A = this chain, B = another copy of it.
Amino acid sequence: MSQNQSASSFKTASEISKDGSFKRQTNRFVTPFGNEQGQLPVEKDRYRLIWCAACPWAHRTVIVRSILGLEDAISLGTVSPMRPRLEHVDWAFSLDTNEVDPVLNIQYLSEIYRKTDPDYTGRPTVPVMIDLETREVVNNDYFTLTNYFETVWSPFHKVGAPDLYPEHLRKDIDELNDIIFHDINNGVYKCGFANSQESYEAAFDALFARLDELEKRLSTKRFLHGDYITDSDVRLYTTLARFDAAYYNGFNTNRNLIREFPNLWGYARDLYQTPGFGDTTDFDAIKRHYHVSITINTDKSEVQILPKGPDLAVWNSEHNRHELSKKEEKFLVVSK
C-alpha cells in the first residue's frame, strides 16, 4: 500500500486541497446491506464490525448496535486508539492477546483492506464490516452503516428495541445528518487538519455557527427531533463527547467548550447517562488517541504528555432535560 502522508497527523497528503483545507477521503466499500440482488445479505454471525473507541465514526455504529441489541448478530473487534508507528497510516489490534484479532487473526487493519483490494491506496478506516466467509472488507461506509442497522437489520433487533430512524422523520433526519456531518462531525477535523489559516478559520466559523444554532434548537426540544432519541442524536453525540476532552485543544476548536453551552451540555449529559452512550464512551482512549497518538512528535528528545484535564466526572452531573419532554420514555418503541 503506497501512501503519502503527514507524519504529524494521520491524514494522507491527498486529503489536503491546494487551499489547505481537509477533504476527507471517500469511502471505497459502499455496497448496501439488504436482501436484494447485489446487496450484502443480512445474516447473523456473518460479519465482524471493527471499531476504535476513540473514533467518532466508529463509535456511532457501536452505540446503535448496543441500543438495538445487535451484539448477538454482529461481532465486534477493537483496534487500539494508539496508531502503530509504521510508514503508512494504520490501525493495530494491539489490545488483543498476542496483538492479533482473535477472529480475523490479523495484526493490522491494513492487512484485510489489502487482501480485499491490492490496489487500495486510501487509509484503512473504522468502522468497517468484514465478511467472515470471504474475510474481506464489504462495507466501510460510516455515513450509512447506522441506517442499515436501524432498518434492514431489524430482524435481529432485541425485543423492545426502539426505532432510531422512524419513517415519518427520515427526511428531517437525513437533512440534519448531512449538516451535522459537514459542519460538526467532519467540521472539527477540518479545523484540526487544515493546512492554511484561511481554511481553518472558515471551518471554525462554520462549526461554531452550527453549534450556536443547535444550542438554540435544543432550548425547546429535549432531543434534535423532539421527545425521542434518533440517529441524528447519535451522530451529534460522538462529536460532543470528544469536544472538551480532545478537539478544543487538539484541533484548535477553542471558541467555547461544550460545557459552556447550557443546552448542548445538558443534552450531551442526558445522552451520556443513557445506556448505549456513556457505557461505550472511553474518555481515556479518546484523550490518548487525539493528544498522544495522532500527533507524532518528531523531536525525539521530547516526551509526549497526556493532558490531565478536563474533569470528566462532570458528565455524570444532573441535568433537567426531561422537563423539555412530554414523554416519559426517551426512545420511541413500536411493538411489532
Contact = CB atoms under 8 A, between A and B. Distances in A.
Interface in A246-267: 248-249, 252-257, 260
Contacts of A305: 194, 197, 200, 252
A8 interface: yes
Given A200-B308, A308-B200, A8 B302 contact: yes
A259 to B, nearest CB: 8
A99 interface: no
Given A7-B299, A248-B249, A310 B254 contact: yes
Q: Which of A13, A249, A305 has the most CB of B within 10 A?
A: A305
A301 interface: yes
Interface of A: 6-9, 13, 20, 194-197, 200-201, 204-205, 248-249, 252-257, 260, 297-299, 301-303, 305-311
Contacts of A194: 303, 305
A23 to B, nearest CB: 16
Question: How many copies make up the complex?
Answer: 2
A6 B301 contact: yes
A4 to B, nearest CB: 10
Contact of A195 (B255, B256, B302, B309): B302
A8 to B, nearest CB: 5
A243 to B, nearest CB: 12
A108 to B, nearest CB: 24
Contacts of A204: 308-309
25 contacts: A6-B299, A8-B297, A8-B299, A8-B302, A194-B303, A195-B302, A195-B303, A196-B303, A197-B306, A201-B308, A204-B308, A204-B309, A248-B249, A248-B254, A249-B254, A252-B307, A252-B308, A252-B309, A254-B308, A255-B308, A255-B311, A256-B311, A257-B257, A260-B260, A298-B299
